[in-house]
């Protein structure tokens, strides 16, 4: 059972994206947020940026901190 549905991967202000029905069908057109990956993106580097909303500029960091954008 999925506890996080793909719906949460779209910013409510983003009218250009479509909700995925499940994670198996998830693709670039179903995600608003810019998500980072790599060696430094982990709990050992809490100040590293994990995700960002390109519409509002909100930022999520590896330690769970969220910083409001605009």
SS3 10: coil
For the chain, how many residues are written? 70
What are the residues facing 66 on neighbouring strands?
Answer: 60
Spell out the per-residue pLDDT of the chain, length 70, in tens.
555 678 889 999 999 999 998 888 899 999 999 999 888 888 888 999 999 999 999 999 999 999 998 7
- pTM exceeds 0.85: no
At residue 61, the 3 state secondary structure works out as: strand
The CA–CA distances, whole Å, from 30 to 11, 16, 18 equal 10, 9, 5
Q: How far is CA 17 from the centre of its chain?
A: 13
Q: Please give the pLDDT value at position 3.
A: 58
Residue 36: closest CA among 3, 60, 16: 60
């Amino acid at each position: 059972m999925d506890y996080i549905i793909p719906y949460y991967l779209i910013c409510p202000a983003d009218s250009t994206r479509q909700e995925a029905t499940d994670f198996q069908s998830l693709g670039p057109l179903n995600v608003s947020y810019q998500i980072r990956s790599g060696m430094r993106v982990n709990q050992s580097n809490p100040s590293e940026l994990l995700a960002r909303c390109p519409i509002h500029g909100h930022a999520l960091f590896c330690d769970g901190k969220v910083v409001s954008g605009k």
